[in-house]
Homo-oligomer: A and B are copies of this chain.
Amino acid sequence: MTRRRREDSVRNEAQVLTAARETLDERGLGADVREIARRAGVGVATVYRHFPTKDDLVQAAMRTDLDGWTEVTAQAVEEADAWTGLRTIVEHTVATMARHRAILDGMTSRAEAFAACHAHLAEALSGVVARAHEQGTLRRDVSAGDVGLQILALSGVAQLAPDEQTLHRHVGLTLDGLRART
């Protein structure tokens, strides 16, 4: 006879996830597990009971945001105007990275746990870029890989320029640079 799961257990798991999200957003992948535990009002062992490894915790904490990002980008590929889709992908990806520093860290450090994200981004960009080339709205000499690099570069800016406005202006600047000259 299997007992019902203890209520403090589920409560703690939720609190750990929340604390992990907060801490990872602030400190990035380098966040200390002890600090996450402290913010959750819990001991370290409790964290490790629910998530066998720090990587597992990170993935669980970022899952929702990552899924949202995946959906938005996948949808942007379907956009009739490929340039609009490209702009959406760039803006939304940069915004996500700016808000969640751990995701940026994972992408730039090529952590194995983020390989799927890399693949998804590459695929989405490859589609949109090809169609933007057909529609003549993207510079011919700009590849999907180039756009990917620019996205990561902009995300790097996000960590140096705290204010939303500056970041958005830089995204506009970059997009201007990518657009085919009329």
Partner of A173, one of B108, B146, B166, B169: B146
Closest CB in chain B relative to A118 CB, distance in Å: 11
Supply 16 A–B pairs (Cβ within 8 Å), ascending by A. A108-B159, A141-B169, A146-B173, A149-B160, A149-B161, A149-B166, A150-B157, A150-B173, A152-B157, A152-B160, A153-B156, A153-B157, A153-B170, A173-B177, A173-B178, A177-B177
Closest CB in chain B relative to A151 CB, distance in Å: 10
Closest CB in chain B relative to A182 CB, distance in Å: 10
Pairwise interchain contact A169-B156, C-beta atoms closer than 8 A: no
A176 on the B face (CB < 8 A)? yes
A residues contacting the other copy or chain, number (CB 8 A): 22
Cα of A166 to Cα of B152 in the assembled complex, Å: 15
Pairwise interchain contact B157-A170, C-beta atoms closer than 8 A: no
Pairwise interchain contact A170-B156, C-beta atoms closer than 8 A: no
